[in-house]
Structure 1
């Protein structure tokens, strides 16, 4: 039986060669709608949240 930490570690690791390239429709349907409707519990490891007002362009994560 897996522990909660083991499950969380699997969720945070993307496979080698993973490329996130959704269409506009996929972004809206599967990411943005879910993020807005369940903001407290929604997680997506492929897209990070960045406050553009708090960092300079050269400090943005890659």
Structure 2
């Protein structure tokens, strides 16, 4: 298992909810296809599809 983690941030333009998810690289590749810098996310509140940004979470060692 990889020690790198990624943070996915997105704000839905329809309902203005914020979604922040922490994913490992394996789970990230499994769920999303395309460039890793900008990915499509489905809003958990209203179901609208929009763009999210991804950034690597620094290790807290």
| TM, length-normalised to structure 1 | 0.29
| Structure showing greater relative contact order (alpha-carbon pairs closer than 8 Å, 6 or more residues apart) | 2
More strand by share: 2
TM-score for both structures, normalised by structure 2 = 0.29
The structure richer in helix per residue is 1
- From the CA coordinates, give the structure whose radius of gyration is larger: 1
